[in-house]
Amino acid sequence: MITSTVENYVKQIYLQQQENPADLLPMGKLATAMNVVPGTATAMVKALADSGLVDYEPRGGIRLTHGGEQLALHVLRRHRILESFLVEILGLDWSEVHEEAETLEHAVSDKVLERMDHLMNRPQYDPHGDPIPTAKGQISHIRLMPLSDMAPGTSAQVARVADQDAAFLRFAEKNGLLPGVKFSLISSDSQADAVTIRLRNKQTITLGGKAAEKILVRKKTG
Amino acid sequence: MITSTVENYVKQIYLQQQENPADLLPMGKLATAMNVVPGTATAMVKALADSGLVDYEPRGGIRLTHGGEQLALHVLRRHRILESFLVEILGLDWSEVHEEAETLEHAVSDKVLERMDHLMNRPQYDPHGDPIPTAKGQISHIRLMPLSDMAPGTSAQVARVADQDAAFLRFAEKNGLLPGVKFSLISSDSQADAVTIRLRNKQTITLGGKAAEKILVRKKTG
DNA sequence: TGCCCTCTTTTGAATAATCAAAATCACTTA
DNA sequence: TAAGTGATTTTGATTATTCAAAAGAGGGCA
Ligand SMILES: [Mn+2]
Ligand SMILES: [Mn+2]
Ligand SMILES: [Mn+2]
Ligand SMILES: [Mn+2]
């Protein structure tokens, strides 16, 4: 049965797998990501394998089957459309919608989701800049550069803020670091592990390496 | 723990209790309403009693405690605001929103619900004419008369359609029997178990006793 | 080669919810 | 008052999910 637990596992496996698409995902990684003890992950993975959602190599790791990936993308679509809806239609803050969507993604029907999607004019990206899979299960795989890798003097725009932590998102918002915002890199000091950028409104912001890695940018086309 | 199962039981107990507010609700009634075998209801009720949500008299029946009633009203509020939202904002048909709300009522947070309520300008009634409890747990208890009890020649307006069955709701909608619609009773034949009404648009509709009981009306004030 | 450390699996147990079927209870009815 | 009947409870199982703790596997290091 596809319970919300199964949906959460499959979605998390997909997300973790993205970080290392070539390798099998080790059980330990999954257990940590799911916040369960390793034995729980093993038990669950066996059930997922029985349902044909993952391929499981004992002591090797796991990988989603095609069916598993489709399910993951379907859940991800629900999650991201819901986040967009909560921000655009209901006016919630982008720092709080991830939590809300985490529950709603298991409760909303395809029909309701379709209405939400339609009402928002079918957005391609969620409020954090994450691509929204299509109803058919396609997702855009545009390679983005972390702000921390930019060369000094270059310009770019924020494409994605890759952290669901509410405090970080509030920090980013307060400093105008939202998807679509343009800026140029003023300085980058690898010894100091810090970069300084200037936004269009002349405001300058300095970020440490950890934070700069979470801001994914798109090079200014030209 | 307040699982969605607990919420469903408590809500159903509240609803069933309304039909006979003076008596204890018998286990059999509850089991039937919840679509479980009697033993399951007994087991669940013991758990609800342990959580302080119901008073349970073995072989007598049950009654919600104050806490249980508050929880029931809270769930009912979520259910009815969601139904309204699905109809008014997302444009679903009133015949399908009950099912959708049945799941969403357990997933939506108070914050999101408050935004929905605000966006709709705080409706007092859901699409079927059922009163929406306040956030504080108050609910209007206006006594309504079933259409089947009206005297010939009198006028009234539809206040509530007391049936969640999609087919019946589609039938009612097709014939213009929506909350707020005014009409007068043309004839009532108890032998034939049928009543005929005329709407403002001159359309006449004949209903059998079963159907007429499900249409609750408000006497024309005057 | 043998021990050790880490990761993973197994085992045993718990909670929540449910069913099937047997047992029990509280009333009627004869 | 004994038997019968219908509602309710009890008992024994099952499924899904989880944890704690013991056991096992494998690779690295002395
Ligand atoms: Mn989730
Ligand atoms: Mn997001
Ligand atoms: Mn429900
Ligand atoms: Mn309703």
Annotated domain spans of chain A: 4-64, 145-219
Burial status of residue B168 (CB atoms within 10 A of its CB: 0-12, 13-18, 19 or more): middle
How would residue A48 be classed by pLDDT, with cut points 50, 70 and 90?
A: very high
The alpha carbon torsion through A171, A174, A180, A186 (nearest 10 deg) reads -80
Enumerate residues 57 to 96 of chain B having a beta carbon within 8 A of any beta carbon in chain A.
Answer: 86, 89-92, 96
On whether any CB of chain A is under 8 Å from the CB of B173, the answer is no
Three-state DSSP at B93 gives coil
For chain A positions 108-147, those within 8 Å of chain B (CB to CB) are 108-109, 111-112, 115-116, 119
Following DSSP, what letter does each residue of A120-146 receive, concatenated? Answer: TT--SB-TTSPBPPPTTS-------EE
Distance CA B114, CA B134 (A): 11
What is the mean predicted confidence (pLDDT) over A87-97?
98
Q: What is the pLDDT of residues A192-222, one digit of tens each?
A: 999 999 999 999 999 999 999 999 999 876 4
Separation of CA A68 and C1' C8 in angstroms?
Answer: 23
Q: Which ligand is nearest to the CA of A82?
A: 2
Rg from Cα positions in chain B: 19
pLDDT of amino acid B190? 87
Provide the 3-class DSSP secondary structure of residue A60.
coil
Cα(A127) to centroid(ligand 2), Å = 6
* Residues A76-111: b if buried by 16+ CB within 10 A, e if exposed: bbbbbbbbbbbbebbebebbbbbebbbbbbbbbbee
Residues (pLDDT < 70) of chain B are 221-222
Fold type of domain B4-64: Arc Repressor Mutant, subunit A (1.10.10)
Asked if the Cβ–Cβ distance from A108 to B109 is below 8 Å, we say no
pTM (two decimals): 0.95
Domain B145-219: assigned CATH number: 2.30.30.90
Within 7 Å of a protein beta carbon, the nucleotides of strand C are 7-12, 15-22, 25-26
For residue A63, count CB atoms less than 10 angstroms from its CB and return exposed for 0-12, middle for 13-18, buried for 19 or more.
Answer: middle
- Residue B109 to residue A91, Cβ atoms within 8 A: no
Residues with CB under 5 A from ligand 3 (ion): B 8, 102
Residue closest to B145 by CA, chosen among B222, B220, B95: B220
